Chain A
């Protein structure tokens, strides 16, 4: 199928992995990546995302299925022949070599002439804005600087594919945001393809072209960040990406992709029906805290449920309210900290309202 693979750069075809010959860590992983895409593998620890990365880099064998780059299968290719740049969580900068020697390493392995090596190293040192640091050792650099060097070292031999294994995990929040910007900048400038592994969803949402959400060795959903957030495919993704409230109920009827759900305690909610929802079956309705409003409000709404105020926390830019439905379901709401933020005491009753398109009913 040459026409099929012409646009696909990297292809995972039903890849499986088992470490103990008994259970699969990765089950039937399939993914097509186009050239220049920034794909993030996101999932809780132990979900198999790092294993996929290690199989792609060649450090773990593939139990079943096939991985191909530019139409060529690399499943049986030795790691040093794959020409894949990799950034590790601990950076893996060689401590006994200077920054310039670290950067020159992949070029020397490729037998590049000395003068060219020097020129290229300087070019990349300038690219990461560390032109004066060539003579230092990794131990003399800060975390952010090491991260930049690790990135430059993975890029310097111009691989078409870059793998990053939680590269920002060891940095503090502020540096992490700087480095996210740095990686995005280099990605846009140089146009390489990235496979990025992280368990930090804000990182994933702000950097990726597409995100593959992993759980239990299976990709739950692979979509662009906005779609993942707004239209999660199942309850796991809805819960894992961002915050969500889950209201259990029973589907009364489904019409035109809208489900009418009866919630124990008397309320009825209309929600977007997800795939696999059956009339008469149990379901959970997910609704994000920032999509809920407390009456009185000027926002339009389709659903209206009475709830008892439990407590609220002052966070700063917003206030978080906790309510309890008559059936005991706890709901939290984020309200912007402006003049309209309502004042509640414990036990007060409020009315929560939201739109049908902002909530999704998932089968359970």
Chain B
């Protein structure tokens, strides 16, 4: 019998070797890891936090909120609480940050922005002692709406640091008076947008499959020289700027564009079609842009399938089309799922193309996220919308993994 165990000295040496290997492995990935940490993980994490953590109001009027915590929420808050708020408003006015408070409260209670701003301007000129004694009267004098409990409720609501409100808004819901959850009045803008985004992404995935599968098959079975040349045409979109490709579609589809001129020229129609700034143009342009993502994984998988499989099926008496469906198609499934997943996920989050050619009809969820980031300045809602989008994609991926198996994905 041979003894395979290590001596004490061997153990030390073996550990040292292992440590060295681990260290060198870490050093190889360290630059990318650091970069990802700062450029990817950290920003996303802060955005996620922003979607439910909003301390702005809590920082602006901490003392008022303390007082409001004791309020029963039905009638008006107590005189003392109102006086504290008046003092807070004066301080804010002096710090020139009453606008921030106005903006936050206005989101919950539209119309309160001007009330808060104008009252704050008034409070600036009032002595501290007067404020403490007749704060309530001064507020009412400045604006009659301070007699309405709703504005106080809105203030208490925005004052909580952790809030599910942005997620509720993103799902077209709101918190009810009774503390439950109810559907929000008016159009269901966000849910409609989510379903539209998923539907458009699905249509694009199907279209890239219909256009890409036969081409990938042809490329994989063509002579090397032909295949290489055609491959350049597949890759060409990758080497062209996204903006150039999208604007090319604008030139093609616009009212006096190439397509309409052609159709009118050959007499198909007398008046131009409205093709640009519709969902149709979004789908068309994105299918074109995302086609390589479908073709490349399919091509690489098909390239590895020996022609003998189809030959074997036919030698056993199966006709070409059934043999294709039973043998070839299942064998390309890894490439197909990789391509479909890539195209679907990329198109769910696509921004530039819908923004440029989509018009109002062709807007996707990413466009509304961008709108809240850049124009309405509601970063919290944008973060909630983005987090929900991420969650939807993760759920879809999980479903996909259950039914197809993530190990079946093959990119090359």
| Residues of A bordering B, CB below 8 Å | 57-59, 79-86, 88-90, 92, 94-96, 105-106, 109-110, 153-154, 157, 163
Q: A88-B308, A153-B312 are in contact. List 19 more A-B contacts (CB 8 A).
A: A59-B314, A79-B311, A80-B316, A80-B318, A80-B320, A81-B317, A84-B315, A85-B315, A86-B311, A86-B315, A92-B306, A92-B309, A94-B309, A94-B313, A96-B331, A105-B313, A109-B317, A154-B315, A154-B316
* A57 engages B313 (CB within 8 Å): no
Q: Which of A109, A110, A154 has the most CB atoms of chain B within a 10 A radius of its CB? A: A109
Interface status of B265 (Cβ within 8 A of chain A): no
Interface status of B211 (Cβ within 8 A of chain A): no
Sampled A-B contacts (24; CB under 8 Å) = A59-B314, A79-B311, A79-B315, A80-B314, A80-B315, A83-B317, A84-B315, A86-B315, A88-B312, A89-B308, A90-B308, A92-B311, A92-B312, A94-B309, A95-B331, A96-B330, A96-B333, A105-B316, A105-B326, A109-B322, A110-B317, A153-B312, A153-B316, A157-B317
Q: Which residues does chain B contribute within 8 Å of A85, judged by CB atoms? A: 315-316
Measured CB to CB, the nearest residue on chain B to A87 is B312
* B311 engages A57 (CB within 8 Å): yes
Interface status of B406 (Cβ within 8 A of chain A): no
| A86-B312 contact in complex given A95-B331, A96-B330, C-beta closer than 8 Å | yes
Q: Which residues does chain A contribute within 8 Å of B312, judged by CB atoms? A: 86, 88, 92, 94, 153
Q: Which residues does chain A contribute within 8 Å of B314, judged by CB atoms? A: 58-59, 79-80
**Interface pairs A-B: 10 shortest CB-CB:** A106-B316, A92-B312, A86-B315, A92-B308, A88-B308, A80-B314, A96-B330, A79-B314, A109-B318, A109-B317
Minimum distance in angstroms from B326 CB to a CB of chain A: 8
Interface status of B34 (Cβ within 8 A of chain A): no
Rounded to whole angstroms, the CA-CA distance of A80 and B330 in the bound complex is 20
Q: Which residues does chain B contribute within 8 Å of A83, judged by CB atoms? A: 317
**B contact residues, total (Cβ < 8 Å):** 20
Minimum distance in angstroms from B257 CB to a CB of chain A: 46
Rounded to whole angstroms, the CA-CA distance of A89 and B307 in the bound complex is 12
Minimum distance in angstroms from A178 CB to a CB of chain B: 23
Q: Which residues does chain B contribute within 8 Å of A105, judged by CB atoms? A: 313, 316, 318, 326
8 Å CB interface, B271-322 against A: 306, 308-309, 311-320, 322
Rounded to whole angstroms, the CA-CA distance of A153 and B317 in the bound complex is 12
Rounded to whole angstroms, the CA-CA distance of A79 and B310 in the bound complex is 11
* B330 engages A106 (CB within 8 Å): no
Minimum distance in angstroms from A343 CB to a CB of chain B: 43
Minimum distance in angstroms from B224 CB to a CB of chain A: 15
Interface status of B395 (Cβ within 8 A of chain A): no
Interface status of B263 (Cβ within 8 A of chain A): no
Interface status of B327 (Cβ within 8 A of chain A): yes
Rounded to whole angstroms, the CA-CA distance of A154 and B314 in the bound complex is 12
Minimum distance in angstroms from A52 CB to a CB of chain B: 15
Minimum distance in angstroms from A14 CB to a CB of chain B: 25
Rounded to whole angstroms, the CA-CA distance of A53 and B257 in the bound complex is 57
Rounded to whole angstroms, the CA-CA distance of A360 and B313 in the bound complex is 48
Q: Which residues does chain A contribute within 8 Å of B330, judged by CB atoms? A: 96
Q: Which residues does chain B contribute within 8 Å of A86, judged by CB atoms? A: 311-312, 315
Q: Which residues does chain A contribute within 8 Å of B315, judged by CB atoms? A: 57, 79-80, 82, 84-86, 154, 163
Minimum distance in angstroms from B25 CB to a CB of chain A: 30
Q: Which residues does chain B contribute within 8 Å of A154, judged by CB atoms? A: 315-316
Q: Which residues does chain B contribute within 8 Å of A88, judged by CB atoms? A: 308, 311-312
Q: Which residues does chain A contribute within 8 Å of B323, judged by CB atoms? A: 80
Rounded to whole angstroms, the CA-CA distance of A81 and B314 in the bound complex is 8
Minimum distance in angstroms from A164 CB to a CB of chain B: 12
Q: Which residues does chain A contribute within 8 Å of B331, judged by CB atoms? A: 94-96
Rounded to whole angstroms, the CA-CA distance of A59 and B308 in the bound complex is 10
Pick the residue among A59, A94, A106, A163 that contacts B327 (CB under 8 A): A94
Rounded to whole angstroms, the CA-CA distance of A109 and B319 in the bound complex is 9
Minimum distance in angstroms from B226 CB to a CB of chain A: 15
* B319 engages A90 (CB within 8 Å): no
Q: Which residues does chain A contribute within 8 Å of B326, judged by CB atoms? A: 105
Measured CB to CB, the nearest residue on chain B to A165 is B308
